[in-house]
């Protein structure tokens, strides 16, 4: 049974070097263990060894029986930089992703990072990442410095993504209203989930998802609250004229076509997502190596689901193979 971890994060060395050497607007410090600490409003990330050492990470994957990971950058993302620096850093990250894919053949693939505060440059970088680097798509952050992903400025990006049949994976960052989330780790524990939900709902209601049907959308953290709130979104579609202005059918019918990773290890939540989107749209994910992530929890949660062996093979890795075009690799 081939296990592919769809949700995990990697800080490439040259990117980290740029951040820690002052070539970035991100405030970085070094902790007592020598790990870079990346600070941003409401949260910070400690770039532990697993974030930045792929040889070490490969051994961790071997220990747990994980065949492959889909590498992505994580917060704060390049869009917090000046546009010119965002373009430069995104290019560095994607080149290093390609190097990792080639060096550890068969162990990693990656989704590109984009300089999202420069939408034209994002379109160019997505095309480069897919056509030249061979990456299957990109990770988008749930908002771009407060601008919704459904904003018209991103339409050229979606046109390119649609032409290329890209996978676009939405990860939360710096939620709208973060000022109310400064205590008790409310930003990652609550804000992240609702910012993902907000992004997905806005993309659907705005008609972006309908207009660009060749884009394959995926959501982090089991879609935030999407499976739980889908019925309410449908009620809005029927009740409010403006909820029908850009789409032809209830929002849940589009959202069922999205993919959802398993970074919510609760059995009830996982079963709800499966009931909503079907096992064929569920992707194993661990959030490794964040402190809140866990490869063992990912494996145990999927292993405990009341699904058929064939469906379990799909969730563990078969669905990701199909989505990412990895069959035969």
Share of the chain above pLDDT 70, in %: 99
Residue 7 clears pLDDT 60, i.e. is over it: yes
Rounded distance, CA 279 to CA 244, Å? 29
Decide if 107 is inside a domain.
yes
pLDDT score for 1: 83
Based on the number of CB atoms within 10 Å of its own CB, is 324 exposed (0-12), middle (13-18) or buried (19 or more)? Answer: buried
pLDDT of residue 328: 61
Q: What is the helix (H) or strand (E) element at residue 147, kind and residue range? A: strand 147-148
* CATH number, domain containing residue 213: 3.20.20.140
Res 280 pLDDT > 70: yes
How many domains does the chain contain in total?
Answer: 1
Tens digit of each residue's pLDDT (9 = 90 or more) over 292-310: 999 999 999 999 999 999 9
Give percent of the chain with pLDDT exceeding 90. 89
Distance, CA of 163 to CA of 168 (rounded, Å) = 13
Residue 48 included in any domain: no
Within-domain flag for 317: yes
First-to-final CA distance of the chain: 15
DSSP classification of residue 36: E
Residue 17 confidence (pLDDT) = 93
Structural domain boundaries, residue 283: 4-9+54-324
Positive or negative torsion for Cα 40, 46, 51, 55: positive
Q: Classify residue 27: in a domain, yes or no.
A: no
Q: DSSP labels for 250-311?
A: -HHHHHTTSEEE-----HHHHHHHHHHH-GGGEE----BTSTT--HHHHHHHHHTSS--HHH
Mean pLDDT of 78-107: 96
């Amino acid at each position: 049974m081939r296990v592919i971890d769809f949700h995990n994060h990697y800080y490439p060395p040259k990117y980290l070097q740029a951040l820690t050497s002052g070539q970035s607007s991100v405030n970085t410090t070094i902790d007592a263990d020598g790990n870079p600490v990346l600070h941003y409003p409401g949260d910070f990330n400690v770039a532990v060894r697993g974030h930045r050492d792929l040889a070490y990470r490969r051994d961790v994957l071997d220990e747990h029986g994980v065949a492959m990971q889909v590498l992505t950058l994580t917060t704060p993302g390049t869009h917090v930089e000046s546009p010119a620096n965002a373009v430069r850093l995104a290019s560095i990250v994607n080149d290093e992703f390609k190097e990792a894919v080639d060096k550890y053949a068969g162990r990693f693939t990656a989704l590109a990072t984009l300089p999202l505060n420069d939408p034209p440059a994002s379109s160019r970088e997505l095309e480069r990442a897919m056509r030249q680097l061979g990456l299957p798509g990109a990770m988008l952050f749930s908002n771009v410095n407060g601008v919704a992903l459904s904003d018209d400025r991103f339409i050229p990006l979606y046109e390119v993504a649609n032409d290329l049949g890209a996978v676009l994976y939405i990860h939360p960052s710096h939620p709208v209203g973060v000022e109310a989330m400064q205590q008790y780790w409310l930003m990652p524990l609550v804000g992240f989930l609702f910012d993902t939900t907000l992004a997905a709902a806005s993309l659907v209601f705005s008609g972006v998802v309908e207009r660009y049907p060749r884009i394959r959308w995926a959501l982090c953290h089991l879609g935030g609250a999407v499976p739980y709130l889908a019925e309410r979104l449908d009620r809005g579609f029927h009740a409010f004229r403006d909820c029908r202005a850009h789409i032809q059918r209830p929002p849940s019918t589009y959202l069922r076509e999205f993919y959802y990773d398993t970074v919510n290890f609760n059995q009830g939540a996982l079963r709800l997502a499966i009931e909503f989107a079907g096992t064929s749209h569920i992707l194993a994910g661990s959030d490794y190596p964040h402190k809140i992530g866990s490869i063992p929890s990912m494996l145990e949660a999927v292993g405990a689901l009341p699904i058929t062996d064939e469906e379990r093979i799909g969730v563990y890795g078969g669905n990701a193979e199909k989505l990412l075009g990895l069959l035969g690799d």
